[in-house]
Amino acid sequence: MSAVLDKSLLQPGALPPVPVRTTGDRMDNAIREHGIGNFCEWFGHQFDGEFAAFTVQTLQERNDEATQAAYFLAFCLGVAFALVVGAIA
């Protein structure tokens, strides 16, 4: 990993949970809840090693995807509302 790891992201609850749609989402949220560093140590990796940095990056990307999906849904609902209101008017 080329970026410097923000070690505060390894602590329990440092990353917010994502909406649960799959069993994998439950696993991701469990890792977030108990801490990425603790997860890494449990599976034999360093608390703040390369695998921890990779895991932080992966879970942050999942947060970004969930946020983008929420914005897209809000946009679609806004468009649908505008179409309904326009059809009534």
Q: What is the pLDDT of residues 9-18, one digit of tens each?
A: 999 999 999 8
Q: Does the residue 28 lie in any domain?
A: yes
What is the pLDDT confidence band of residue 72, given thresholds at 50, 70 and 90?
Answer: confident
Structure tokens at 71: 């914005």
Q: Does the residue 45 lie in any domain?
A: yes
pLDDT at 34: 96
Tally the domains of the chain. Answer: 1
Give the SS3 label for residue 53.
helix
Q: Does the residue 71 lie in any domain?
A: yes
pLDDT at 82: 79
Please tell me the pTM assigned to this model. Answer: 0.72
Give, in degrees to the nearest 5, the angle at Cα 28 between 58 and 41.
80
Q: Does the residue 6 lie in any domain?
A: no
Mean pLDDT value of segment 26-48: 94
Mean pLDDT value of segment 25-34: 93
Give residue 67's domain range: 18-88
